[in-house]
Structure 1
């Protein structure tokens, strides 16, 4: 499965690299676009020293961990949001008759390697924040776990959004709400949001386990909403449950699909 994905992604990468000037320009433009979110954080802290009790470097740490996980998914699986286009055009049939899983084919369809610039920028922000913060080194093992958990959670959300498009074939904004919309939530400390919203993204849609709950452990902070300490370590379990749910939804979507006959 991994080898097949890599081969398909490499095919699109070679095609993009055939035009080096365009490739480099798109990488730079991707970095500039992503840098706008960081600029917003800088503007906020140009007028205050803390945001909901968190310092600038702590916010950058939360942004970096969530941003790195999200940009990796944006690079690897974001093309799942194009399913509705294939369904409407009748081209989804071709993915089903090939000896490769439809999920892998859709994820690598028109693979965009220039999004690597966004991954590099998010990694740079995370690296800076880790260097700027005085963290307990014994807690740093959680950082790669956070990123891996975030990758699984965001991938599952993209898969769920893709599965939903088998039912709502003309609602691409649903994917954006599930993916880019949820990523916007994780850019800031959850203490800036209402208690009800935080409960929803903790117990229903487990976005809190991308960077908030484990991030509190790394930073040595108490949860302002009073959740128990063991919640800091439930990220992998929450990601597994969401991934299994997304897998089941995807399988149901495939079974529900009816060919256009083209």
Structure 2
């Protein structure tokens, strides 16, 4: 709790320092936002022409894209820049500073900085959730909001888990940026569309090996009540939060294993 209070005080100070850079601070948000706006336009143009993709309509596909974008943005605010910073510290041999502080290195890693770039993802995500739900006639009562909140937390944990797991590889290989790009940005891009359009191999990969499908595809089935879209088991849409928690615990274990490896090198 003490760390949360300190972090809450740190964020306004962080924004104040960044805003001193003037217009460049706001261009950070604009640059990230423009990429997503272009992708939404691509979906709109494509679905306006073909109406559906394997039974998924325009705003259903937009909802899938929005869940991927929104949860990645949330996870990246607290983990993405932080893991890049850890990689640089390991490469430069300065990570020892993290080990002598009276704070858990994992928590210290999180509170060192704040990924303000990704706030644009979150803001656009909120807007697009409202747009999609309105066009899909999805009523957000208390139960529906609770379900949405739980599945988004689970999805965010999945996104955070892969950022931490791939970032932690720097303890073994010094540089893990290429792996992070391949997994976090490469494989994740498959999730911008329903996985039912892909081959069985891809479906198995993103469900049971690299379970990104629990970020948006299975939660969307639950939110949109698309029970006829079951791929492997009708249970899968309900276990996204469990998968997210399990993945994050695994990520923390990988982080600790890497931390012990770094300590053992005598660096």
Same fold by TM (over 0.5)?
yes
CA RMSD of aligned residues (A): 2.3
Q: Deviations over 1:185-214 (max 9, x none)?
A: 221111121112111221222222111112
Deviations 1:122-166 (A, max 9, x none): 221121101110236577342222211111111111111122121
Q: Residue 258 of structure 1: CA displacement?
A: 4.3
Q: 2: CA distance between counterparts of 1:193 and 1:9?
A: 41
Residues 113, 119 of structure 1: alpha-carbon distance in 2 compared, 3 angstrom cutoff: same
The alpha-carbon deviation at position 178 of structure 1 amounts to 2.6
| Pair 1:140-2:147 in alignment | no
Deviation track 1:97-132 (CA, whole Å, cap 9, x = no partner) reads 122222233334443324312211122112110111
Distance 1:33 1:95 in 2: 35
Tell me, in whole angstroms, the C-alpha distance in 2 between the residues paired with 1:137 and 1:170. 44
Partner of 2:127: 124
Partners of 1:81 and 1:161 within 8 A in 2: no
Count of equivalent residues? 262
1:64 aligns with 2:69: no
Q: How far apart in 1 are the matches of 2:23 and 2:244?
A: 39
Aligned counterpart, 1:198 = 203
Assess if the C-alpha contact under 8 Å between 1:162 and 1:175 holds in 2.
Answer: yes
- The Cα offsets for residues 32-54 of structure 1, whole Å up to 9 and x where unpaired, read as 12322222212322431111211
Question: Pick from 83, 95, 101: which aligns with 1:92?
Answer: 95
Give the corresponding residue for 2:108: 105
Q: Which residue of 2 aligns with 1:169?
A: 174
- Does the Cα contact within 8 Å between 2:166 and 2:176 map onto a contact in 1? no
Structure 2 match to 1:73: 75
The match for 2:45 is 43
What's the secondary structure of 2:219's corresponding residue? helix
Distance 1:260 1:232 in 2: 43
* Structure 1 residue 225 displacement after superposition: 5.3
TM-score of the aligned structures, taking structure 2 as reference length: 0.88
| Contact persistence 2:222–2:237 (CA under 8 A) | yes
1:251 equivalent to 2:256? Answer yes
- Give the structure-1-normalised TM-score: 0.90
- Report the 3-state secondary structure (helix = DSSP H, G, I; strand = E; otherwise coil) of the residue aligned with 1:200: helix
Which deviates more, 99-108 or 41-50?
Answer: 99-108
CA contact (8 A) 1:136 1:218 kept: no
- In the other structure, the counterpart of 2:8 is 6
The answer to whether the Cα contact below 8 Å between 2:169 and 2:175 also exists between their aligned partners in 1 is no
Q: How far 1:16 sits from its partner (Å)?
A: 0.2
- Structure 2 contact 76–118 (Cα < 8 Å) conserved: yes
Q: Which has the larger share of helix?
A: 2
8 A contact 1:158–1:175 mirrored in 2: yes
Name the residue aligned to 1:184: 189
Measured after TM superposition, the shift of residue 223 of structure 1 is 5.3
* Structure 1 residue 181, shift from structure 2 partner: 2.4
Q: Paired residue for 2:55?
A: 53
**Unmatched tracts of structure 1, length 5 or more:** none
Q: Which is worse superposed, 18-27 or 50-59?
A: 18-27
> Structure 2: how far apart are the matches of 1:89 and 1:260?
14
